[in-house]
Amino acid sequence: MTTKHYRVPPKLVGYYLKKNGQPKTIREIGSLCGDVERRLLKKRRSRQKLFRMHIGNPSVDTPRPLINYQCMAINSPGITNSYAPCDGDPTLKKEASNFLSKFCDVYIPPKYCISSAGGAHGLYLVMKAWHDVLQVNNDTRDTMLLFAPYFPVHKMQADDVNFKTESIEFYDYRGEEKLRDELERLLSKGNIHSILYSNPNNPAWLSLTKEELAVIGELADKYNVLVIEDLAYFGMDFRYDYSRPGEAPYQPTVAKHCKNYAIVLSSSKFISYPGERCGIVAISPSIGIDSNAELSPAIYDHIAFKGMALTISSVPHSSQVGMAMFLRDLNNGKINFREALMEYRDKAKKIKNLFIEKGFYLTYADDCGEPIADGFYFTISRIGFSSEQLFLELTYYGIFVVPLNLCGSKRDGVRICISFVNPDDIPELENSLKLFDLDHTNE
Amino acid sequence: MTTKHYRVPPKLVGYYLKKNGQPKTIREIGSLCGDVERRLLKKRRSRQKLFRMHIGNPSVDTPRPLINYQCMAINSPGITNSYAPCDGDPTLKKEASNFLSKFCDVYIPPKYCISSAGGAHGLYLVMKAWHDVLQVNNDTRDTMLLFAPYFPVHKMQADDVNFKTESIEFYDYRGEEKLRDELERLLSKGNIHSILYSNPNNPAWLSLTKEELAVIGELADKYNVLVIEDLAYFGMDFRYDYSRPGEAPYQPTVAKHCKNYAIVLSSSKFISYPGERCGIVAISPSIGIDSNAELSPAIYDHIAFKGMALTISSVPHSSQVGMAMFLRDLNNGKINFREALMEYRDKAKKIKNLFIEKGFYLTYADDCGEPIADGFYFTISRIGFSSEQLFLELTYYGIFVVPLNLCGSKRDGVRICISFVNPDDIPELENSLKLFDLDHTNE
């Protein structure tokens, strides 16, 4: 096998960068990858192997029972031919509430578990609601705090709802003490109305410790700040088994530690269900700012009535009913969601090692001293490379990733997503990385 | 049977109006109806018959083949466990383009037929895209023109994307000549960047004539205004048969008459598929303002990349694949979508007559002299009643409707939706209306 196979002509990449500009979003990186692939196919008349490590699309199958439940729902009267209730299918609301009890050890009443068309939709609705509720309450704070590196869509959504944003390089403030000091400093300024993060974190796969979550919760209540917790990767810190209903350890969440929170639960990764767009926004029943401690009903109304009507009228119906039945099985311990996901852990371990063996290092390596979990994403750096240089240089070896400058990171590096790497292709990936290493060690 | 059965105590309605305020949206009318129903059930221990004529939920079943196609899709690999492409499933794009050729006699390339999570989502994405594209092009126009009476969500969406709005009482400007004069007057002011209407119109079920559409199209191109045409009730002007592929008459559309248009197609009514959230935004391939006649690519990018990522990441996958296969059957003439819908026409005719016999009259009665079609909605008035009074007074007879002041109408009246009236209940409805008439003729 000739090594040429692994190379993508820099001129070709350059052509598309010149034509379309430097990619500014993950989707634009996807477009670049598609353009390059089509061009190579045309030129070489054989499919060039490209490693699509920029996408966070799951590779695990949707659990069979969930598929069967959705099919049952589609065949039931009153599902496909009627809008779901604007706050969600009642059974899903009940089972979601139950799920949060069983797997997070947190009680949120079914009313406040609102269906959304996936995690992004849930986040968007919460932000829009919080924006309007602050305005109605004459609260002049205008800024959302992000923990960098962050998921770029978080920032884009904040911009869209007219939130200003600030971010902290979270890795520089790990642990109870440092985090408390930095948050005190920032929140006491008086301009911040909310904190948004994902846990485990996209892109770096950092997991907040319970102590850190406790500090965030404590200060959120002290400063009347809403914590928006994106649980897009529920239960996927595989160092711990969070998958046994009603048994510790529970998925850590800020909801254990404060009153001012909204949790956004996605079905895309933990039950491999991104296609059908079904998630849950669970808001605290006792959100308050200053004197006004009863904001939860207004936020609920805004999400279920206004936000839903504005954006999509109602959440897809059959997927809600299917997911309700599936959550019931999880809640009863009839099905375990974690087992099918272990292939992510195993792939991450292998691929991480490949990069490290070939002269890369982990950009974000540990959680307060403990090595980060192996999961869906990790971040890598290489001495002498900026984020954009590393992104660009890797494309020449057929590897597409996300440069960390798109994620507001202070560090140079790129995000790697392991889901789309076929285990059979790992030797090829190794070859590409070897070439990269050779080329850049000789320099 | 005692007539009491048909009455709802005014005190009870008053209690909820005092508690929650006058309903400001259709959903709040639904909440009022639900509250009243629950209260009556508790009090009388028997289900009170309420006529839910405020909702636009279809009553016709989803066509069996569509359900089967969606089930097939769910069981196919790579559907439920992967995000659909951000601009839509390729087969749906192709079939949607084909559908518009066959049923509207308009060619829009598949690329520009973008999937949305239903009609409301499609409208929202178009408005957001148009807002940003105008801004990028330093176009300072800030106002959208609505044809009143309009669907309240249209206005809410326009407000949300920071469009100012103006409206014309469309019924006062029917016909080529009057409409041209009024539009010339308004568009020549220079502040209007877009026109939004639904056709047939929600709430009044007015249908624009071809001549009127031609005027709108002509002036839109003249004044660089984008026409956003909401085809939520595709093919449902039942006076004509628009259901034969490739044969006249075709569903009238402004797309036949101009370059600056976006069509939003909903699957909720014409194929009774609201539960699964699947629609199409079809944008003209040659949208332009002034010197810049190439805005379509930017609008496409904004909808498929930015707007989609902001709101829901991607459109539900299995419903797209199912709808693609179903549209193919429609396009090939294998299935006819109109036959199943004729029950709406028949119900509308009966219910309209009931109201008229009992002393009501049609608020909006004709299309340029021709009686309006019987379809999903109609509007009724009663001498001496404002919109809000009529809304309130009808609730005492168990009839819930939408007051036309919520739709920006200059006329007093209410919107009636016939879909949720069971044909078996029509005699009861007649009784309620008889009571209403007796009570209000004696006064």
**DSSP secondary structure string for all residues of A294-341:** --HHHHHHIIIIIIHHHHTSS--HHHHHHHHHHHHHHHTTSS-SSGGG
For A276, the closest of B58, B311, B318 (CB atoms) is B318
Q: Average pLDDT of A306-324?
A: 97
CA quadruple A230, A231, A232, A236: dihedral positive or negative? positive
CA quadruple B247, B251, B253, B255: dihedral positive or negative? negative
B317 Cβ under 8 Å from any chain A Cβ:
yes
Under the banding of pLDDT at 50, 70 and 90, the label for residue A124 is very high
Q: How far off is chain A from B160, nearest CA to CA, in Å?
A: 8
Q: A316 pLDDT exceeds 50?
A: yes
Q: How far off is chain B from A122, nearest CA to CA, in Å?
A: 8
Q: How far off is chain B from A13, nearest CA to CA, in Å?
A: 21
Q: How far off is chain A from B439, nearest CA to CA, in Å?
A: 35
pLDDT in tens, A333-390: 999 999 999 999 999 999 999 999 999 999 999 999 999 999 999 999 999 999 999 9
pLDDT in tens, A233-278: 999 999 999 999 999 999 999 999 999 999 999 999 999 999 999 9
Under the banding of pLDDT at 50, 70 and 90, the label for residue A5 is low
Q: A398 pLDDT exceeds 90?
A: yes
pLDDT for A41 equals 84
Tokens 């699947």 belong to residue: B278
Q: Across-strand partners of A381?
A: A361
Q: How far off is chain A from B119, nearest CA to CA, in Å?
A: 8
| Domains in chain A, CATH or no CATH each | 10-60+339-440 (3.90.1150.100), 64-331 (3.40.640.10)
Select the residue from B72, B92, B268, B276 to test the A interface by mutation, using most A Cβ atoms within 10 A.
B276
Which residues from chain B sit within 8 angstroms of residue A319, using beta carbons?
A: 316
Q: A2 pLDDT exceeds 50?
A: no
Under the banding of pLDDT at 50, 70 and 90, the label for residue A184 is very high
How many residue pairs from chains A and B have C-beta atoms closer than 8 A? 168
pLDDT along chain B (443 residues), means of 10: 64 95 91 91 74 91 98 97 96 98 98 98 98 95 98 98 98 98 98 98 97 98 97 98 98 98 98 98 93 87 96 98 98 98 97 97 97 97 98 96 97 96 92 94 69
- Cα maximum dimension of chain B: 71
Select the residue from B66, B81, B83, B302 to test the A interface by mutation, using most A Cβ atoms within 10 A.
B81
pLDDT for A292 equals 67
Which residues from chain B sit within 8 angstroms of residue A305, using beta carbons?
A: 25, 27-28
pTM of the model: 0.96
Phi and psi at A400, nearest 5°, equal: -110, 125
Interface of B with A in 206-265 (CB under 8 A): none
Query: What SS3 class is residue A193?
Result: strand
A343 vs A338: CA distance, rounded Å: 10
Phi and psi at B282, nearest 5°, equal: -115, 115
Report the range of poorest mean pLDDT among A79-93, A99-113, B41-55, B202-216: B41-55
Q: A160 pLDDT exceeds 90?
A: yes
A307 Cβ under 8 Å from any chain B Cβ:
no
pLDDT for B42 equals 83
Cα-based angle B136, B141, B145 (whole degrees, multiple of 5)? 125
Residue with the larger pLDDT of the pair B103 and A27? B103
pLDDT for A1 equals 39
Report the range of poorest mean pLDDT among A23-32, A145-154, B78-87, B314-323: A23-32
pLDDT for B443 equals 56
State percent of chain A over pLDDT 70: 97
Contact yes or no for A388/A403 (Cβ under 8 A)? yes
pLDDT for B290 equals 75
B135 Cβ under 8 Å from any chain A Cβ:
no
Q: Average pLDDT of A40-58?
A: 82
Per-residue tokens: B227: 């026409």
Contact yes or no for A344/A418 (Cβ under 8 A)? yes
pLDDT for A4 equals 46
Residue of A nearest to B156 (CA): A310
